[in-house]
Amino acid sequence: MNHLSQIVRVETIRGFKEGQRVTAQDVEVSPPQLHRGRVHSVWSDATAMIVWDTLDQQRDRHLSVNGRVDLHHLSRDLAS
- Integer-rounded Cα Rg, in Å, for the chain is 13
**Global pTM?**
0.87
Per the CB < 8 A criterion, the answer to whether 38 and 67 are in contact is no
- Domain CATH number, residue 49: 2.30.30
Note the pLDDT of residue 5: 79
pLDDT tens profile 5-54: 799 999 999 999 999 999 999 999 999 999 999 999 999 999 999 999 99
Asked if residue 40 lies in contact with residue 51, where contact means CB atoms within 8 angstroms, the answer is yes
Answer yes or no: is 43 within a domain: yes
1 pLDDT above the threshold of 50: no
The boundaries of the domain holding residue 54 are 9-76
What pLDDT score does 3 carry? Answer: 55
- pLDDT greater than 70 at residue 2: no
